[in-house]
Amino acid sequence: MSLQAKKRADYLPPAFTINDVKMDVQLHPTCTRVTSEYQVERMGNHGHALTLDGDNLTLREVCIDGQPYTDYEQTDSSLVICNVADDFSLKLVTEIDPEHNQALEGLYLSAGTYCTQCEAEGFRRITYYLDRPDVLARFEVTLHGDKQHYPTLLANGNPIARGDHDDGTHWVTWQDPHPKPAYLFALVAGDFDLLEDSYTTTSGKPVKLELYVDKGKRDQGVFALESLKRAMKWDEDTFGLEYDLDIYMIVAVDFFNMGAMENKGLNIFNSKFVLADQDSATDEDFFNVESVIAHEYFHNWTGNRVTCRDWFQLSLKEGLTVFRDQQFSADMTSPLSNRIKHVRVMREHQFAEDASAMSHPIRPEEVIEMNNFYTVTVYDKGAEVIRMFHTLLGPEKFREGMDEYFRRHDGQAVTCDDFVAAMQSVTDLNLGHFALWYSQSGTPVIEVTTSYDPQTRRMDITFSQHTAPTADQKDKASLFMPVAFDCIDSAGNHYTDDDGQVRDGMFILDTAAKTLHFSDVPEPLIPVVLGNFSAPAKVENSLSAEQLLAVFQYANDTFNRWDALQSLYDWCIHQYELENQAAVDATIWQGLEQVITRESHNHELLGECLVIPSFETLCQSRQLVEVAALNTARSQFCRDFAQRLHGPLETLFKTLETGPYQYTQTAINARRCRNVVLNHLACAGDADKLLNQQFEQADNMTDSLGALKAAQGHSPSVFESLMSRFEQRWNHDPLVLDKWFGLHATTERTDILSQLSLLQQHPRFAKGNPNRVRAVIGSFAFFNTAGFHAPDGSGYQFVTDYLLKLDAVNPQVAARIVTPLTQWHNFAPDYQLLMKAQLERIANHKGLSGDLYEKVSKSLA
Ligand code: 0A1
Ligand code: ZN
């Protein structure tokens, strides 16, 4: 483990490259033998030794051009082979221990199935290699394994030969014709149920589709396979991109650190993002399956055909692929709820990351442990940056730019600058300034100020932008932002600015400030800013409650309408924090009542608009948060909301009979709205009958879980009884049981820590399984506000105790769960002290992983 930071600026091209790889893998739980043969070529004129990366390997043999070779040195993390020729073949034999690989990087056993995870730097745990994304080689891989236990042997590409050995083992050889970096390598060996299908591309090429799931789970794989076909078609229609191998395989495994992995032709998935059926999966689970299936499929072009030159360029593939999967999901489901979902992620998680010591640009400058940079900044803010290209260029030009990007770079490992250059080549717009989004971290704030002169009937609206210094970067410059803009009066009339700076509902903010002028206006106008969240920024636009209700009623952009209510709720909660509840007066409650009655037919909009902003979102518009006070204010507001609006909510609920389960957008919207309303009714009290009834009658997981969630905060006895029935029913299904674990872990109760201990003793809890750990410890740390932030520091201490144990097993997951502790800056001093004390404990822990070290040391710096 190296604690030395690597810098983007220090990039050097590889001294050698490897063009062809042959691997022979003899699978064994504790001693898998890997024989690799490389065709190595010196790059340029130099006399350096060949340095290969390696981690936790036992080296057995080194041969060059067929002869045993001894002129090499080994370190903890490398094999240095001295005095080599310019072109030669290198053969290495290494041994590894998959059974004891609990970090789940490299080759490991997932509940008896062999699988691999090589991104970012896991291939070096399989064999010594030039483990960097700019070394692209053709791979041929032969796997040998016990035929009875591992009837299925898979690797990237196409199978070209297979056979049996005499000793009960068999072998299969796979060849991948596309040169690829080692992080896209994969192998799988196991005994599965197989779902088979086929797809014919627009140009008439047939592709075999194979989905491998645990025995007995066949039916739960159908939706994933259908999603795959939809994604393949969408990418052809939208970007003209076809699949490029004869076979596309997906394998679902139970032990996986992340969501899924786009290995060439052989995706490996966390089973959570494959398995789904009406009984066991919520609408949200179905949505996630479809979007992750699409995400990994889209990587075949944005990531695999065109890959990253180095890991600092990660957003090149991830930001772009997230944008592509978001567009796909919007087309498959609904643009509005998708946009809101992604904006929530930005506001709850990305803004918080940018305000913490882990703040980094979408293209980071400095990295100790690459696994720490699979972040909401690189992924989601990265996608927002791609979305701004799309907004600025328009869909046609964006497509031209993408075509040009593939024309220039197919088969190459490139940089974010290369992407910008391809986009630049199709537009007259100068993207030089825009490109600052790649190097500047932090969340810009757009402040909106107005001045109105009743005499001249003139109105000026000024937008000024400011990005506060972040932990990694003191000086900030003005960014280039597309700002979607609308301007209304209190009666809903729309206005245009005098100078025509606003075109097609948008203007560019590329300086510290910009003013729009309006003449002949009868009253102060209401600026409606950042429609569809056109830039990843915060807006400070101090509108009154009345004005916000007018925005909801009249604005053109539906996202703005939703956002106006979010701002209104935030303002109301702030009044409660100030103990000024009276400010939330009858006109506001009447306004909200009208929202419900006027939009009662629009289940999608109401399903979003009736959600009160989360504690995490509220934190982003506050500083030095007094956790208990804010949490209490939020709960009091929720209760008043539920009681004051009880009549219209109840009426609405009655109209929301959803009928037998169907996964259609109309039915999804209705279920969502119904469950949001049920939660309010439970909050108002006296809803036990409704809760029991919904749980009893539910023919699908969305409604069962809706009843449980509504009971959770508002009706402890109903919650307890429904939870125990739920456990009995689902004890056999670990993915469903994770929902149960998560609900327990997020329940705000005084004895939560002993509850968490009980959960860890549950026969289905397994500390080696990331899904279980995230469901219990992750849910608590991220979402149990009162428990995690207990004023005596016990929540922080509990999480820390756990992380110190987990770090020795799975540092990657430990480093993710530490995130809420590293965000101490935004809390009041008493909380800060307690959080920092625990971070110090982690920092002083002997044998700490590089993963935790990087996040904790930055956070304490
Ligand atoms: N590239 C994958 C995500 C992924 C990243 C790292 C992993 O292990 C450290 C695993 C998966 C994706 O974006 O889907
Ligand atoms: Zn990805």
* Secondary structure (DSSP) of 97-109: -GGG--S--EEEE
Q: Shortest CA distance to 694 belongs to which of 686, 703, 685, 702?
A: 703
Helical segments of 279-381, H only:
283-298, 314-332, 335-345, 351-354, 376
Yes or no: say if 189 and 154 are a contact pair by the CB < 8 Å rule: yes
Q: How far is the CA of 383 from the centre of ligand 1 (A)?
A: 16
Q: What percent of the chain has pLDDT over 90?
A: 99
Ligand positioned closest to the Cα atom of 292: 1
Tell me how far apart the alpha carbons of residues 710 and 682 are, in angstroms, rounded to a whole number: 6
Q: Give the number of the atom of ligand 1 that is nearest the alpha carbon of residue 370.
A: 9
Yes or no: say if 112 and 190 are a contact pair by the CB < 8 Å rule: yes
Tell me how far apart the alpha carbons of residues 642 and 645 are, in angstroms, rounded to a whole number: 5
Tell me how far apart the alpha carbons of residues 528 and 548 are, in angstroms, rounded to a whole number: 9
So which residues are the catalytic ones?
296
Yes or no: say if 253 and 116 are a contact pair by the CB < 8 Å rule: no
Average pLDDT over residues 827-839: 98
* Residue 816 beta carbon below 6 angstroms from any ligand 1 atom: no
Q: Give the number of the atom of ligand 1 that is nearest the alpha carbon of residue 379.
A: 13
Q: How far is the CA of 119 from the centre of ligand 1 (A)?
A: 6
Average pLDDT over residues 672-687: 97
Average pLDDT over residues 646-671: 95
Q: What is the reported pLDDT for 3?
A: 83
Q: What is the reported pLDDT for 658?
A: 77
Cis before 633 (ω within 30): no
Rounded (to 5) percent helix, strand, coil in the chain: 45, 20, 30
Q: Which helix (H) or strand (E) is 24 found in, with range?
A: strand 16-26
Q: What is the DSSP secondary structure assignment for residue 220, as one 8-state letter?
A: G
Q: Shortest CA distance to 748 belongs to which of 797, 787, 795, 793?
A: 787
3-state secondary structure (DSSP) of residue 326: helix
Token representation of residue 644 = 């004051």
Q: How far is the CA of 722 from the centre of ligand 1 (A)?
A: 36
Residue type for position 631: N
pLDDT at 1 over 60: no
* Residue 180 beta carbon below 6 angstroms from any ligand 1 atom: no
Q: How far is the CA of 380 from the centre of ligand 2 (A)?
A: 11
Yes or no: say if 361 and 440 are a contact pair by the CB < 8 Å rule: yes
Compute CA distances 607 → 60, 589, 612, whole Å.
61, 18, 11
* Residue 199 beta carbon below 6 angstroms from any ligand 1 atom: no
Q: How far is the CA of 294 from the centre of ligand 2 (A)?
A: 10
Q: What is the 3-state secondary structure (H, E, C) of 67-90?
A: EECCCEEECCCEEEECCCCCEEEE
Q: Which residue's CA lies nearest to atom 12 of ligand 1?
A: 261
pLDDT tens across 461-514, in order? 999 999 999 999 999 999 999 999 999 999 999 999 999 999 999 999 999 999
Q: How far is the CA of 386 from the centre of ligand 2 (A)?
A: 14
Q: What percent of the chain has pLDDT over 70?
A: 100
Q: What is the DSSP secondary structure assignment for residue 158, as one 8-state letter?
A: E
Yes or no: say if 505 and 556 are a contact pair by the CB < 8 Å rule: yes
Compute CA distances 555 → 486, 518, 522, 762, whole Å.
7, 18, 18, 51
C-beta atoms surrounding 163 within 10 Å: 10
pLDDT tens across 216-258, in order? 999 999 999 999 999 999 999 999 999 999 999 999 999 999 9
**pLDDT band at residue 426, thresholds of 50, 70 and 90?**
very high
Q: Name the one residue in this structure whose structure tokens are 């040169």.
A: 179
Yes or no: say if 204 and 262 are a contact pair by the CB < 8 Å rule: no
Residue type for position 59: L
Neighbouring-strand partners of residue 125: none
pLDDT at 845 over 90: yes
* Residue 257 beta carbon below 6 angstroms from any ligand 1 atom: yes
3-state secondary structure (DSSP) of residue 137: strand
* Residue 140 beta carbon below 6 angstroms from any ligand 1 atom: no
Q: Which residue's CA lies nearest to atom 7 of ligand 1?
A: 119
Tell me how far apart the alpha carbons of residues 760 and 776 are, in angstroms, rounded to a whole number: 8
* Residue 295 beta carbon below 6 angstroms from any ligand 1 atom: yes
**How do 87-96 and 152-155 pair as beta strands?**
unpaired
Check residue 66 and give left, alpha or beta (phi > 0: left; psi -120 to 50: alpha). left
Q: Give the number of the atom of ligand 1 that is nearest the alpha carbon of residue 318.
A: 13
pLDDT tens across 306-316, in order? 999 999 999 99
Q: How far is the CA of 351 from the centre of ligand 1 (A)?
A: 22
Ligand positioned closest to the Cα atom of 370: 1
Q: How far is the CA of 295 from the centre of ligand 2 (A)?
A: 6
Tell me how far apart the alpha carbons of residues 356 and 176 are, in angstroms, rounded to a whole number: 42
Ligand positioned closest to the Cα atom of 324: 2
Average pLDDT over residues 678-696: 97
Q: What is the 3-state secondary structure (H, E, C) of 370-434?
A: HHHHCCHHHHHHHHHHHHHHHHHHHHHHHHHHHHHHHHHHCCCEECHHHHHHHHHCCCCCCCCCC
pLDDT tens across 160-194, in order? 999 999 999 999 999 999 999 999 999 999 999 99
**How do 206-213 and 247-253 pair as beta strands?**
parallel
Neighbouring-strand partners of residue 508: 482
Q: Name the one residue in this structure whose structure tokens are 């159908």.
A: 222
Q: What is the dihedral of CA 820, 826, 830, 831, to 10 degrees?
A: -10
pLDDT tens across 118-171, in order? 999 999 999 999 999 999 999 999 999 999 999 999 999 999 999 999 999 999
Mean pLDDT of the chain: 98
Compute CA distances 328 → 301, 334, 368, 491, 664, whole Å.
15, 10, 34, 37, 16
Q: Which residues contact 723 (CB under 8 A, 6 or more apart)?
A: 708, 740, 743, 744
Q: Which of 261, 263, 268 to mutate to test the pocket of ligand 1 (most atoms within 8 A of CB)?
A: 261
* Residue 134 beta carbon below 6 angstroms from any ligand 1 atom: no
* Residue 599 beta carbon below 6 angstroms from any ligand 1 atom: no
For 660-697, give the DSSP string: S---SHHHHHHHHHHHHHHHHHHHHS--HHHHHHHHHH
Q: What is the DSSP secondary structure assignment for residue 493, as one 8-state letter?
A: -
Residue type for position 731: N
Token representation of residue 581 = 């509840």
Q: How many CA atoms lie within 13 A of 655 on its CB side?
A: 13
pLDDT at 796 over 70: yes
C-beta atoms surrounding 377 within 10 Å: 26
pLDDT tens across 19-75, in order? 999 999 999 999 999 999 999 999 999 999 999 999 999 999 999 999 999 999 999
Tell me how far apart the alpha carbons of residues 279 and 149 are, in angstroms, rounded to a whole number: 30
Q: How many CA atoms lie within 13 A of 511 on its CB side?
A: 4
Q: Which helix (H) or strand (E) is 705 found in, with range?
A: helix 701-714
Q: Which residues contact 13 (CB under 8 A, 6 or more apart)?
A: 43, 44, 134
* Residue 263 beta carbon below 6 angstroms from any ligand 1 atom: no
Q: Which residue's CA lies nearest to atom 10 of ligand 1?
A: 258
Q: Which residue's CA lies nearest to atom 8 of ligand 1?
A: 119
Q: Which residue's CA lies nearest to atom 6 of ligand 1?
A: 119
* Residue 459 beta carbon below 6 angstroms from any ligand 1 atom: no
**How far does the chain reach from its first CA to its final CA, in angstroms?**
21
Q: Which residues of 318-348 are buried (b: 16+ CB within 10 A; e: fewer)?
A: bbbbbbbbbbbbbebbbebbbbbbbbbebbb
Q: What is the reported pLDDT for 790?
A: 98
Q: What is the dihedral of CA 55, 56, 57, 58, to 10 degrees?
A: 140
Q: What is the pTM of this model?
A: 0.98
Token representation of residue 423 = 């986009």
Tell me how far apart the alpha carbons of residues 513 and 539 are, in angstroms, rounded to a whole number: 14
3-state secondary structure (DSSP) of residue 55: coil
pLDDT tens across 747-793, in order? 999 999 999 999 999 999 999 999 999 999 999 999 999 999 999 99
Q: What is the DSSP secondary structure assignment for residue 762, as one 8-state letter?
A: S
Q: Give the number of the atom of ligand 1 that is nearest the alpha carbon of residue 256.
A: 10
Helical segments of 184-259, H only:
222-239
pLDDT tens across 429-470, in order? 999 999 999 999 999 999 999 999 999 999 999 999 999 999
pLDDT tens across 68-105, in order? 999 999 999 999 999 999 999 999 999 999 999 999 99
Tell me how far apart the alpha carbons of residues 252 and 139 are, in angstroms, rounded to a whole number: 23
